[in-house]
């Protein structure tokens, strides 16, 4: 009988082991979940673009004619995927991190450390968001060398990534870190 069987953990089946960081209340919960899905779709499409363009570069070796823009767009797509997925990774605790503190520290000490980390991420994202905004707003009409893409658009993608990562760091502070420091369990944790 199915109810007598022991269910395997999600991680053994490739499922998500860390839940998405979302606020408890609607409509923000649905909005941020939708943004997360959109980040996944855009990031996946950009990786497909990289794959197709790199394969196109391989084909160029064996056919007459060249497409110099393929390498440039492939590189830009990889960078754009990194920025677009940064907020998603922060929401799932998948950013570059050293999780040894999770085993050493507990309770309020761990929550305080994670608060400091999220504050550092938030401040860094806000500073880089401002700097990138300055870069885009003072653009003088330059274009990329091969594809002739306006640098204004090329440099605008990191603005989105920094904003989404700052949003997720703020959410981590409000939803998880502060309740952890106050000794309350975070909703859904």
What pLDDT shows up at residue 101? 85
Reported pTM? 0.84
What pLDDT shows up at residue 5? 47
What pLDDT shows up at residue 14? 55
Tens place of pLDDT per residue across the chain (189 aa): 444 444 455 555 555 567 888 998 999 999 999 999 999 999 999 999 999 999 999 999 999 888 889 999 999 999 999 999 999 999 998 877 777 888 898 889 999 999 999 999 999 999 999 999 999 999 999 999 999 999 999 999 999 999 999 999 999 999 999 999 998 875 544
**What pLDDT digit, counting tens, does each position of 136-177 carry?**
999 999 999 999 999 999 999 999 999 999 999 999 999 999
Residue 83 CB contacts under 8 Å (≥ 6 apart), including other chains = 157, 158, 160, 161, 162
What pLDDT shows up at residue 17? 67
Q: CA–CA separation, 123 vs 174, rounded Å?
A: 15
Residues in a beta bridge with 143? 150
What pLDDT shows up at residue 162? 97
What pLDDT shows up at residue 3? 45
Dig out the tokens for 94 from the structure. Answer: 């998948």
What pLDDT shows up at residue 97? 77
What pLDDT shows up at residue 28? 92
């Amino acid at each position: 009988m199915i109810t007598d069987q022991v269910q395997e953990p999600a991680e053994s089946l490739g499922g998500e082991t860390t839940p998405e960081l979302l606020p408890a209340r609607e409509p923000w919960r649905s909005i941020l979940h939708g943004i997360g899905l959109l980040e996944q779709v855009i990031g996946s499409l950009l990786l497909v673009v990289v794959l197709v363009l790199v394969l196109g570069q391989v084909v160029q070796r064996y056919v007459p004619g060249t497409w110099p823009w393929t390498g440039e767009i492939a590189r830009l797509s990889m960078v754009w995927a990194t920025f677009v997925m940064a907020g998603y990774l922060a929401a799932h605790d998948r950013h570059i991190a050293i999780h040894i503190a999770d085993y050493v520290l507990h309770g309020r000490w761990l929550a305080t450390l994670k608060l400091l980390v999220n504050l550092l991420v938030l401040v860094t994202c806000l500073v880089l968001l401002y700097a990138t905004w300055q870069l885009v707003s003072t653009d003088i009409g330059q274009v990329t060398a091969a594809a002739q893409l306006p640098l204004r658009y090329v440099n605008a993608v990191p603005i989105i990534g920094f904003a989404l990562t700052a949003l997720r760091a703020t959410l981590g502070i409000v939803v998880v870190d502060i309740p952890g420091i106050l000794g309350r369990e975070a909703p859904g944790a």
